[in-house]
């Protein structure tokens, strides 16, 4: 067994033994469940009027109960909810070593720090992508259950790209969360970072330069503000990719150079 | 001579704080080196630099003839370590925590985990989550992780921390046994008597500087001896001994007279004769040796 496989086994075991996978799965599943609830409300406007706030919100966000609307809401939920839930996962994977004070146990081992970092990133990527696929699958099941019109295979194909593409773009920005957890030596700075980027993404999108702001790109890609062709360009994907590479390099460099006093 | 641990002018500052200052440490193969210092003296910073966890501001570290760092480089397959309070993944069992260490060390023999669990008397806790372990058993788990890969060098920060008296004796015997097998041990401890009983050489660090190194023979030589005298009429006894030319101090704690002159220590029977002659025979007369703790406290300025 090489050291990377060993590190990957280690990170997987730590995740399996924790409640965090279950809790994040439940939390993220709400995206599909609430989406289905909106569709039920929208299907019956009379019942919607009697339901107060949630009905008003559903009217504001959607409009009609059909598959295109359902996928559109799911895409937005994955992009914005993913930015928070995926950040929680990343903050836990990297920040727990400081909170549990276990970081010092793997700084002087035959398995290098880079190897352990790489295993952590692979686990984060697999975990968050797995969650995205789960929520998309759950969405399909709930959509079928609610029995809304407008289904087609073409729509499934394009919506898969919207929802899962938004998830991939969100995942590409997670190394920044890992960097924040490392620099801040714990969960909290990483959570703070995630909330800050979600807030700034909203501002950037409203001000019209969301296509240049990496953290606004996933939501714009999902179709939250209309067809992405008019909102994003090649430069938008480049800034996301560039931010990913930059934050990965910074995280690896920090782990090589920083004094570990905890 | 090749040293197992060798530092040259090792220094570390954190902003204006000079944690370690010009440390030249040499530990030979097979030694048990006791590293003593008050809290904040620089012990843990030194240990972290030895393990490549902290980069020195100045100076260098060689461990097992290999330069340590940058980038965490070092002969870690041959080194076991325990730094500060032990830590383990709380959701994982004792066995799983050790299994992680086994895999990250690249050990192919899965039986080493069971062996070390038995060696550290952790069998009843093998399948218990580490988060539920007592401080003492967590310390045993930390030691088990350090010993798992049968290292040539053990770097242990406060190895007896959290252990009950029986555990302290057990670990002392374990470490002594490992040393007999040729394992080199560097251990820091605040339990000075532990270091005193185990170490073949001691380094005393104070305010980041190595202020004294003692081998076993020097330790014996350097320890101050004193003659402790008790009598029913202590003032009369003090007056008689002073009149006989002895330098006498009164120790409040033990209600005894203390004589440090070589004349008194080498010939306590003469002291007894003086006291009997003065009509205040001694009720207790004993040559005592200052223990390492007192020597250490005196060196670091805690005792005057």
Tens digit of each residue's pLDDT (9 = 90 or more) over B143-174: 999 999 999 999 999 888 888 888 888 888 88
CB < 8 Å to A18, chain B: 91
Decide if A109 and B54 are in contact by the 8 Å CB cutoff.
Answer: no
Q: Which residue has the higher pLDDT, B129 or B163?
A: B129
Between A221-230, B63-72, B123-132, the lowest mean confidence (pLDDT) is in A221-230
Are B72 and A105 an interchain contact pair (Cβ–Cβ within 8 Å)? no
**Residues of chain A neighbouring B70 (CB-CB closer than 8 A):** 256-257
**Residue B177 C-alpha, separation from nearest chain A C-alpha, in angstroms:** 24
Residues 190-229 of B with CB under 8 A from A: none
pLDDT on residue A53: 47
Q: What is the pLDDT of residue B75?
A: 92
Distance from C-alpha of A156 to C-alpha of A22, rounded to nearest angstrom: 27
State whether A257 and B145 contact (CB < 8 Å): no
The reply to whether residue B89 touches residue A259, judged by beta carbons under 8 angstroms, is no
Inter-residue contact B278 to B237 (CB < 8 Å): yes
> How many angstroms separate the CA of residue B254 from the nearest CA in chain A?
43
For residue B45, list chain A residues with Cβ-Cβ distance below 8 A.
Answer: 261
Per-residue pLDDT, averaged over B166-184, amounts to: 89
Residue B260 has pLDDT above 90, yes or no: no
> Which residues, including other chains, have CB under 8 Å from residue B38's CB and lie 6 or more apart?
B206, B300, B302
Q: Least CB-CB distance to A102: which of B71, B87, B96?
A: B87
Assess B105–A contact: CB distance below 8 Å, yes or no: yes
Predicted pLDDT of residue B191: 67
Distance from B107 to chain A by nearest Cα, in Å?
9
Distance from CA of A22 to the nearest CA of B (A): 14
3-class DSSP assignment, residue A170: helix
Nearest CA in chain A to B12: A259
Q: Given an 8 Å threshold on Cβ–Cβ distance, is B70 in contact with A256?
A: yes
Q: Tell me if chain A has a CB within 8 Å of the CB of B277.
A: no
Q: Tens digits of per-residue pLDDT, A166-182?
A: 999 999 999 999 999 99
B100 touches chain A (CB under 8 A): yes
H/E element, A59: helix A53-61
Q: Among partner residues A106, A110, A260, which is closest to B77 by beta-carbon distance?
A: A110
pLDDT over threshold 60, residue B22: yes
Instruction: Give the closest residue to B42 by CA, choosing from B81, B13, B3.
Output: B13
Q: How far is CA B156 from CA A199, A238, B9, B130, B175, in A?
A: 47, 49, 22, 20, 10
Tokens 């067809």 — which residue?
A: A227
How many CA atoms, within 13 angstroms, populate the side-chain half-sphere of residue B197? 13
Res A261: pLDDT: 82
- Count Cβ atoms below 10 Å from residue A1 Cβ, excluding itself: 11
Residue B90 confidence class, pLDDT cut points 50, 70, 90: very high
**Chain B nearest-CA residue for A112:** B72
- Beta strands in chain A, from DSSP E residues, in sequence order: none
B100 neighbors A10 (Cβ within 8 angstroms): yes
Structure tokens at B175: 């470490």
pLDDT of residue B81 exceeding 90, the answer is: yes
Question: Shortest Cα distance from B233 to chain A (angstroms)?
Answer: 57
Residue of B nearest to A101 (CA): B87
Pairing type for strands B32-37 and B201-206 reads parallel
Look at A60 and B82; give whichever has higher pLDDT: B82
Look at residue B153 in the predicted model and tell me its pLDDT. Answer: 96
Task: Please write the tens of the pLDDT for every residue from B27-56.
Answer: 999 999 998 888 888 999 999 999 999 999
pLDDT at A42: 80
* Partner-chain contact A101 B87, CB within 8 Å: yes
ipTM over 0.90: no
Of A3, A7, A104, the CB nearest to B87: A104
Is the CB of B152 inside 8 Å of chain A's CB atoms? no
Contact A110 B106 (CB under 8 A): yes
Angle between the N-to-C axes of helices B111-119 and B94-104, in degrees from 0 to 180, rounded to the nearest 10: 130
How close does chain A come to B100, measured CA to CA in Å? 6
Instruction: Give which of B266, B272, B286, B283 is closest to B240, Cα–Cα.
Output: B272
Nearest CA in chain B to A119: B104
> What is the rounded distance in angstroms from the CA atom of residue B286 to the CA atom of residue B297?
23
> Which stretches of chain A drop beneath a pLDDT of 50?
53, 58
Q: Which of B70, B76, B106 sits opposite A108 (nearest CB)?
A: B76
């Amino acid at each position: 067994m090489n050291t990377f496989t060993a590190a990957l086994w280690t990170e997987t075991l730590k995740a399996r033994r924790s409640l965090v996978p279950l809790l994040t799965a439940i939390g993220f599943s709400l995206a599909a469940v609430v989406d289905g609830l909106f569709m039920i409300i929208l299907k019956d406007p009379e019942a919607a009027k009697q339901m107060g706030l949630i009905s008003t919100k559903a009217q504001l966000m959607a409009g009609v109960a059909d598959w295109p609307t359902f996928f559109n809401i799911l895409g937005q939920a994955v992009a914005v909810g993913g930015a928070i839930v995926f950040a929680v996962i990343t903050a836990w994977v990297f920040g727990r070593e400081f909170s549990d004070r276990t970081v010092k146990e793997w700084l002087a081992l035959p398995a290098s720090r880079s190897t352990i970092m790489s295993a952590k990133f692979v686990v984060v990527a697999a975990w968050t992508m797995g969650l995205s696929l789960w929520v998309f699958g759950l969405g399909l099941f709930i959509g079928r259950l609610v029995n809304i019109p407008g289904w087609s295979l073409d729509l499934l194909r394009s919506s898969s790209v919207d929802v899962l593409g938004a998830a991939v773009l969100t995942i590409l920005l997670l190394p920044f969360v890992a960097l924040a957890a490392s620099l801040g030596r714990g969960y909290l700075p990483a959570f703070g970072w995630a909330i800050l980027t979600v807030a700034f993404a909203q501002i950037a999108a409203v001000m019209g330069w969301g296509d240049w702001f990496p953290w606004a790109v996933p939501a714009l890609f999902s179709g939250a503000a209309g067809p992405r062709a008019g909102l994003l360009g090649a430069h938008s994907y480049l800034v996301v990719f560039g931010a990913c590479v930059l934050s990965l390099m910074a995280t690896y460099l920090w782990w090589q150079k920083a004094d570990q006093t905890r | 001579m090749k040293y197992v641990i060798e530092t040259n002018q090792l220094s570390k500052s954190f902003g204006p704080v000079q944690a370690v200052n010009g440390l030249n440490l040499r530990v030979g193969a097979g030694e048990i080196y006791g590293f003593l210092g008050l809290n904040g003296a620089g012990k843990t910073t030194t240990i972290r630099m030895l393990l490549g966890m902290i980069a020195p501001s100045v100076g260098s570290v060689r461990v097992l003839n290999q330069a340590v760092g940058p980038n965490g480089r070092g002969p870690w397959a041959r080194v076991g370590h325990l730094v500060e309070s032990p830590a383990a993944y709380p959701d994982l069992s004792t066995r799983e925590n050790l299994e992680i260490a086994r895999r990250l060390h690249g050990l192919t023999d899965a039986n080493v985990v069971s062996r070390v669990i038995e060696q550290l008397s952790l069998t009843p806790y093998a399948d218990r989550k580490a988060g539920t372990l007592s401080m003492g058993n967590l310390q045993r788990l930390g030691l088990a992780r350090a010993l798992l890969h049968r290292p040539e060098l053990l770097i242990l920060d406060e190895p007896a921390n959290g252990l009950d008296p029986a555990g302290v004796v057990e670990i002392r015997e374990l470490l002594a046994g490992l040393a007999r097998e040729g394992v080199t041990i560097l251990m820091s401890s605040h339990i000075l008597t532990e270091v005193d009983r185990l170490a073949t050489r001691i380094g005393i660090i104070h305010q980041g500087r190595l202020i004294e190194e003692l081998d076993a023979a020097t330790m014996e030589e350097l320890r101050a001896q004193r003659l402790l005298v008790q009598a029913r009429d202590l003032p009369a006894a003090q007056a008689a001994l002073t009149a006989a030319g002895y330098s006498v101090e009164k120790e409040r704690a033990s209600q005894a007279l203390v004589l440090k002159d070589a004349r008194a220590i080498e010939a306590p029977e003469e002291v007894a004769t003086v006291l009997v002659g003065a009509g205040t025979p001694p009720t207790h007369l004993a040559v005592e040796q200052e223990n390492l703790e007192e020597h250490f406290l005196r060196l670091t300025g805690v005792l005057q």
